[in-house]
């Protein structure tokens, strides 16, 4: 077995054990009035893992979490890893049907959730959506009223025996870098969710490199606005903090007033997030009333960034390190800008390859493109995914036998060798940091009884970067307003997926092969004066 002094070579529980040994009395999590030191976090995690074992969670089973950032999210996730299970996070913005797809596809054995987040009862939403979930044996409610079909957090955690704790210790000792750690679902151009299977070694590579990239150190205070269900929040958040011995301060939702208050009151040093986070802080009328002087690290990406925004961050906020990067669920963070890069480079490029990563640009035949030309971005590195869950065809189409990952993104290198993303081959747009996939939204819209056909594009938005616009063909004599389509969508899909604009058309523009010509729709949207961002 690899030494615990080499956490990247063993497992996530091994990383936690190292942190507990090194930073035992350091606060690991501060969540409202509750704090846990690293030693206490390790103990809480072991107890939760033992409870999972007691409920029949076997090594390799899947455990899902569907709730907002908080101390129990962290304990549950680390407990799942310690029990030898694979973690399956679910987006808190998902509706019941969307969550049901993830639970069904992953074969999750147990779900940890909440019934009182923003007046939303996730257990009720799941029940109302219906659908068969034959492998889901238990639902644990971490917060809120507990329905008859579920267990409370306290009841679930009670009755742990020394025998179960010993079994947890055995499982931790048996874990290695090639054991599955997590399955994060991401949609593609087909609109069908894909489960990205990662291993402990690959996941730890993301976390430890993020520490290297940011200089995150023991005792630093990390305000966690990025959701834990996302790679950014889980791996560059929770696990990076454990690797460094930093203090985690989870935020369940982004609220700029609370962020400003927390930065001042909690002496926050690390505040990553999408560009909209920094824009909201800069534009806040009461910003100067808050002491933000402790802020050190800003990390952003995932959207087109105006050069002016980076210039304002540097001029008006105290960050000494501003980083933009390029990453995806299938690979972690693959490139980043450097500490000495100018604002234009931070805004318009995603920097150079991270240590251990290689980046290629290829044409349609898979050959490297000449210098100065654009091509599809291929990545190879220590945190590239193992495979797609139960989808060997998609795996083979995306991941070569030599380990090269086809991203579907189009990029070019600037004269200094930095990567610039110039297009999205997968037809994706990004809403406030969340990936939105037109095919998935279009498939959902087609369930509306009045809609015959739909095509979705991203359009500029000052606050969110991009939002969805739907071009809709109605079925026969059906009649429905754009506002009604939007309201219908809000009841059935996550908010960031909901089109903000609906335009009715008689037909969609098609090419000779029957595919929608989205460039024509983009030109049409760009010509509308009311849509100018």
Tell me which of 42-51, 98-107, 114-123, 523-532 is least confident. Answer: 523-532
Cite the DSSP H helix spans in 419-492.
438-445, 482-490
- Binned at pLDDT 50, 70 and 90, residue 381 comes out as very high
- Binned at pLDDT 50, 70 and 90, residue 302 comes out as low
In this predicted structure, the answer to whether residue 274 has a pLDDT above a threshold of 60 is: yes
- Binned at pLDDT 50, 70 and 90, residue 304 comes out as low
Rounded to 5 degrees, what are φ and ψ at 46?
-60, -40
Name 435's bridge partners.
430
pLDDT at residue number 367: 95
Kind and range of the H or E run holding 207: helix 200-214
Span 141-145, average pLDDT: 97
For 56-92, give the DSSP string: T--TT-EEEEES-SSHHHHHHHHHHHHTTPEEEE--T
Check residues 165 and 192 and name the one with the higher pLDDT.
165
- For the chain, residues classed under CATH 3.30.300.30 are 429-531
Close Cβ partners of 88 (under 8 Å, ≥ 6 residues apart): 62, 63, 64, 65, 102, 103, 106, 108, 182, 183, 184, 185, 195
Span 81-90, average pLDDT: 98
pLDDT at residue number 191: 58
Span 50-75, average pLDDT: 98
Out of 70-79, 298-307, 360-369, the most confident range is 70-79
- In angstroms, rounded to a whole number, what is the distance separating the alpha carbons of residues 160 and 170? 16
- The predicted-structure confidence for 6-57, as pLDDT tens digits, reads as follows 444 489 999 999 999 999 999 999 999 999 999 999 999 999 999 999 999 9
Tell me which of 74-78, 260-264, 493-497 is least confident. Answer: 493-497
Q: Give the Cβ contact number of residue 397 at 10 Å.
A: 11
Q: How far is CA 300 from CA 208, 211, 291, 392, in A?
A: 18, 15, 22, 33
Map tokens 């004066």 to a residue.
529
pLDDT at residue number 95: 93
- In angstroms, rounded to a whole number, what is the distance separating the alpha carbons of residues 410 and 377? 6
Span 481-490, average pLDDT: 96
Map tokens 């963070």 to a residue.
333
In this predicted structure, the answer to whether residue 4 has a pLDDT above a threshold of 50 is: no
Instruction: Write down the mean pLDDT value for the chain.
Output: 92
pLDDT at residue number 189: 46
- In angstroms, rounded to a whole number, what is the distance separating the alpha carbons of residues 345 and 28? 34
Tokens representing 366 are: 């898979």
- The predicted-structure confidence for 168-180, as pLDDT tens digits, reads as follows 999 999 999 999 9
Q: How many CA atoms lie within 13 A of 217 on its CB side?
A: 3
- The predicted-structure confidence for 425-439, as pLDDT tens digits, reads as follows 667 888 998 878 787
Strand 332-336 versus strand 321-328 pairing type: antiparallel
- For the chain, residues classed under CATH 3.40.50.980 are 7-19+30-176
- The predicted-structure confidence for 312-351, as pLDDT tens digits, reads as follows 999 999 999 999 999 999 999 999 999 999 999 998 899 9
- In angstroms, rounded to a whole number, what is the distance separating the alpha carbons of residues 230 and 406? 20
- Binned at pLDDT 50, 70 and 90, residue 372 comes out as confident
CATH class of domain segment(s) 7-19+30-176:
alpha beta
pLDDT at residue number 6: 44
pLDDT at residue number 410: 85
pLDDT at residue number 130: 87
- Binned at pLDDT 50, 70 and 90, residue 422 comes out as confident
End-to-end CA distance of the chain: 56
CATH class of domain segment(s) 429-531:
alpha beta
Tokens representing 285 are: 């009328």
In this predicted structure, the answer to whether residue 243 has a pLDDT above a threshold of 80 is: yes
CA neighbor of 17 nearest in space, from 204, 198, 206, 215: 204
Buried b (16+ CB within 10 A) or exposed e, 229-261: bbbbbbbbbbbbbbbbbbbbbbbbebebeebbe
- Binned at pLDDT 50, 70 and 90, residue 244 comes out as very high
Span 214-227, average pLDDT: 97
Q: pTM of this prediction?
A: 0.87
Close Cβ partners of 484 (under 8 Å, ≥ 6 residues apart): none
Q: Is residue 36 helix, strand or coil?
A: strand
CB 300 within 8 A of CB 348: no
Span 53-67, average pLDDT: 97
In this predicted structure, the answer to whether residue 198 has a pLDDT above a threshold of 70 is: yes
Dmax over Cα atoms in the chain, in whole Å? 70
Q: How many CA atoms lie within 13 A of 269 on its CB side?
A: 12
Tokens representing 531 are: 């849509």
Tokens representing 430 are: 């990004």
What is the distance, to the nearest Å, from the Cα of residue 381 to the centroid of all Cα atoms in its chain? 19
pLDDT at residue number 295: 98
- In angstroms, rounded to a whole number, what is the distance separating the alpha carbons of residues 273 and 40? 28
What is the distance, to the nearest Å, from the Cα of residue 440 to the centroid of all Cα atoms in its chain? 17
CA neighbor of 48 nearest in space, from 71, 66, 21, 27: 71
Query: Which DSSP letter does residue 320 get?
Result: S
């Amino acid at each position: 077995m690899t030494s615990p002094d080499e956490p990247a070579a063993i497992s996530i529980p091994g990383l936690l054990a190292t942190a507990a040994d090194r930073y035992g009395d350091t606060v690991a999590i501060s969540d409202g009035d509750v704090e846990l030191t690293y030693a206490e976090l390790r103990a809480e995690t072991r107890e939760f893992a033992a409870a999972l074992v007691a409920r029949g969670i076997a090594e390799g089973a899947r455990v899902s979490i569907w709730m907002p950032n908080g101390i129990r999210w962290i304990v549950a996730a680390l407990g799942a890893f310690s029990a030898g299970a694979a973690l399956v996070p679910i987006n808190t913005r998902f509706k019941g049907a969307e969550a049901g797809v993830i639970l069904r596809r992953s074969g999750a054995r147990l779900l940890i959730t909440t019934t009182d987040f923003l007046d939303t009862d996730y257990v009720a939403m799941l029940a109302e959506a219906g659908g068969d979930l034959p492998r889901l044996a238990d639902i644990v409610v971490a917060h809120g009223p507990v329905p008859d079909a579920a267990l409370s957090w306290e009841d679930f955690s009670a009755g742990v025996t020394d025998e179960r704790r010993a079994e947890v210790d055995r499982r931790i000792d048996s874990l290695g870098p090639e054991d599955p750690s997590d399955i994060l679902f991401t949609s593609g151009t087909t609109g069908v969710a894909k489960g990205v299977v990662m291993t402990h070694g690959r996941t730890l590579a993301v976390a430890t490199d993020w520490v290297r990239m940011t200089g995150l150190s023991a005792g630093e205070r990390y305000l966690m606005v990025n959701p834990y269900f996302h790679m950014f929040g889980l791996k560059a958040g929770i696990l990076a903090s454990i690797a460094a011995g930093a203090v985690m301060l989870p935020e369940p939702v982004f609220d700029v007033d609370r962020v400003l208050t927390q930065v001042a009151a909690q002496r926050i040093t690390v505040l990553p997030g999408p560009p909209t986070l920094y824009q909201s802080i800069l534009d806040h009328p009461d910003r100067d009333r808050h002491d933000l002087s402790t802020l050190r690290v800003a990390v952003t990406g995932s959207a087109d960034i105006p050069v002016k925004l980076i210039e304002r961050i540097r001029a008006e906020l105290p960050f000494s390190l501003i980083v933009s990067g390029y990453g995806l669920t299938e690979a972690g963070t693959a490139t980043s800008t450097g500490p000495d890069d100018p604002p234009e480079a931070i805004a318009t490029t995603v920097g150079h390859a991270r240590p251990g990563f290689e980046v290629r640009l290829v044409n349609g035949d898979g050959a490297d493109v000449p210098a100065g030309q654009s091509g599809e971005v291929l990545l190879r590195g220590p945190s590239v995914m193992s495979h797609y869950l139960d989808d060997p065809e998609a795996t083979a189409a995306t991941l070569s036998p030599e380990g090269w990952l086809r991203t579907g993104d189009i990029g070019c290198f600037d004269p200094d060798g930095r990567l610039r993303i110039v297009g999205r081959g997968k037809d994706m747009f990004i809403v406030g940091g969340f990936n939105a996939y037109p095919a998935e939204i279009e498939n959902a819209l087609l369930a509306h009884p009045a809609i015959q056909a739909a095509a979705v594009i991203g359009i500029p938005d000052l606050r969110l970067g991009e939002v969805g616009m739907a071009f809709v063909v109605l079925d026969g004599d059906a009649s429905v307003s754009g506002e009604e389509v939007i309201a219908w969508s809000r009841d059935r899909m996550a908010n960031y997926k909901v089109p903000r604009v609906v335009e009715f058309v008689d037909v969609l523009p098609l090419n000779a092969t029957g595919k929608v010509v989205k460039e024509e729709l983009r030109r049409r949207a760009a010509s509308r004066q009311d849509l100018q961002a």
